[in-house]
């Protein structure tokens, strides 16, 4: 079986994607508090939902990136995603 190596560059890139997903989920939580005029304590009481939304957003971003990479591979173009 072939050993695979995950480079530091790849780890950092994935962490940036995860951070972007977390920031988007946190922003959506703030936006929903503003839109629905709820208490600001929901900023920390709904943190579990923010984490779940972060994982969902990360998976969606991952699927989109894999589709783009697959299409690029089919057409023979090199992308840095």
Give the C-alpha separation, 18 to 66, whole Å: 16
Number of Cβ within a 10 Å radius of residue 20 = 14
Residue range 55-79: mean pLDDT, rounded: 89
Residue range 5-16: mean pLDDT, rounded: 94
Number of Cβ within a 10 Å radius of residue 58 = 19
**Residue 73 pLDDT class (50, 70, 90 cuts):** confident
Q: Is the pTM of this model over 0.85?
A: no
Q: What is the pLDDT of residue 74?
A: 86
* Span 15-66, pLDDT tens digits: 999 999 999 999 999 999 999 999 999 999 999 999 999 999 999 999 999 9
Q: Which two tokens stand for residue 36?
A: 């629905």
């Amino acid at each position: 079986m072939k050993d695979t190596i995950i480079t530091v560059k790849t780890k950092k890139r994935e962490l940036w994607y995860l951070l972007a997903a977390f920031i988007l989920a946190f922003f959506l939580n703030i936006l929903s508090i503003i839109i629905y005029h709820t208490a600001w304590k929901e900023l920390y009481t709904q943190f579990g939902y923010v984490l779940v939304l972060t994982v969902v957003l990360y998976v969606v971003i991952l699927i989109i990136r894999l589709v783009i990479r697959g299409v690029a591979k089919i057409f023979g173009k090199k992308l840095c995603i």
